[in-house]
Amino acid sequence: MPGPISPFERGEGMRLYDQHGREFLDFHAGVAVNALGHGDPHLVSALKAAAEKVWHTANTFTIPEQERLGQRLVDATFADAVFFTNSGAEALECAIKTARHYFWAKGETDRSDIIAFTGAFHGRTLGTIAAGGNPDYLEGFGPAAPGFKHTKPGDLDAVRALITPQTCAILIEPVQGEGGVTAMSAEFMQGLRALCDEHGMLLILDEVQCGFGRTGRFFAHEWSGITPDIVAVAKAIGGGFPLGACLAKGDVAASMVPGTHGSTYGGNPLATAIGNAVLDRILAPGFLDQVNTMGQRLAWHLQQLAQKYPDHVLELRGKGLLAGIKIATPVRDMVTRLRDDHQLLTIGAGENVLRLLPPLIVTEADIEEAMTKIGAAFDAIDAVNAAPATGS
Ligand SMILES: *Cc1c(COP(=O)(O)O)cnc(C)c1O
């Protein structure tokens, strides 16, 4: 039953079903949000239980689920302080404000410049489109918020050249998602940490897409062995419920006392009850090891695909279950073809990269099935190209 899909009606694990009952294999996961796939029984029961209790009180009052989630994140990571948001962009806004306020409170009031990177994506608010620096996302929205300088990732000398006494922080995604699935090397991440230490700057990481287990570690930056000062997370943290967080070291967050920043919904009882349920699963013994193994299996299968289809696969990118295939044909067409003709859900990224972001519960059988579907799509393209031209 080929043809355009109808809206999804139901989901189970790695699969989504549209209104016609057609089954789709999900390597899109709501853009890395559905870390535990669809309809996870533990998350469903957590939401149902939370729905019977208090939905919302605002942060005027103590929210036990929020305190518990914050404490668990502190226990599991580098952070001493957590601020909850409803989205990734808000987590980045909090990160940027925290960095600037840290220096302001120290009396370094004009130290507010942030070095960021080309190919970055940090969200769609006025602040985060300026931080991302993508001209397509800035166009038409008035003057860009000041205080951001950009250079290409991977070049430490270029970063060094941008540092001035006004520079307060470096902001980077350890694996760029939207921009083209580019994983930073451990050496580059360590070099950025060293530059921040040398110049008394803060290192802010955007782990909204690559964090929360996606690369096979809790945070992607763990692969480089560095400790950041501030990390923004979202997407997988709520497993599909809108939730984000800004994590920071204690001294860095110290000046962000009540009143300096805030959010009405951020960390509300419903959201943080689900956040706790997601964390139950991700921190369960063996879960991240399994994600890591699947990330390695995906990389291996992608290499096989690249060998079989050298004319289609130009480059393999990414880390763990955030994988990219730079392809020779337009990625938009490929995403549509995979969805409509092969019932595989994927997403494009910059630089004509096909992005694969399966839920973290993916099995090797799912990976093999996805590879078969992508191979079949390449075959179909080749068949069209090989067919003798019709008409005059
Ligand atoms: C999705 C994303 C954001 C923005 O998150 P929203 O929830 O859409 O605001 C920021 N940074 C990265 C790396 C992302 O992938």
What integer pLDDT is reported at residue 2 of this predicted model? 55
What integer pLDDT is reported at residue 388 of this predicted model? 78
Active-site residue identified among 206, 241, 249, 378: 206
The mean of the pLDDT values for the chain is 97
Is the pLDDT at 392 greater than 90? The verdict is no
Residue nearest to atom 6 of ligand 1 (CA): 88
Torsion sign over Cα 326, 328, 333, 337: negative
- For the ranges 28-32, 172-176, 379-383, 384-388, which has the lowest average pLDDT? 384-388
The predicted-structure confidence for 252-267, as pLDDT tens digits, reads as follows 999 999 999 999 999 9
The predicted-structure confidence for 34-65, as pLDDT tens digits, reads as follows 999 999 999 999 999 999 999 999 999 999 99
Residue to substitute in 122, 129, 357 for testing ligand 1 pocket (most ligand atoms within 8 angstroms of CB): 122
Closest approach atom of ligand 1 to CA 207: 13
What integer pLDDT is reported at residue 355 of this predicted model? 98
What integer pLDDT is reported at residue 78 of this predicted model? 98
| More reliable by pLDDT, 3 or 110 | 110
Which architecture, in CATH terms, is 42-282?
Answer: 3-Layer(aba) Sandwich (3.40)
The answer to whether 249 is a known catalytic residue is no
What integer pLDDT is reported at residue 5 of this predicted model? 80
* Mean pLDDT for the stretch of residues 91-105: 98
The answer to whether 235 is a known catalytic residue is yes
Domain ranges of the chain: 8-32+285-386, 42-282
Burial 301-316 (b: 16+ CB within 10 A, else e): bbeebeeebeebbeeb
The predicted-structure confidence for 196-214, as pLDDT tens digits, reads as follows 999 999 999 999 999 999 9
Could you tell me which CATH number the domain at 8-32+285-386 has?
3.90.1150.10
Residue nearest to atom 5 of ligand 1 (CA): 88
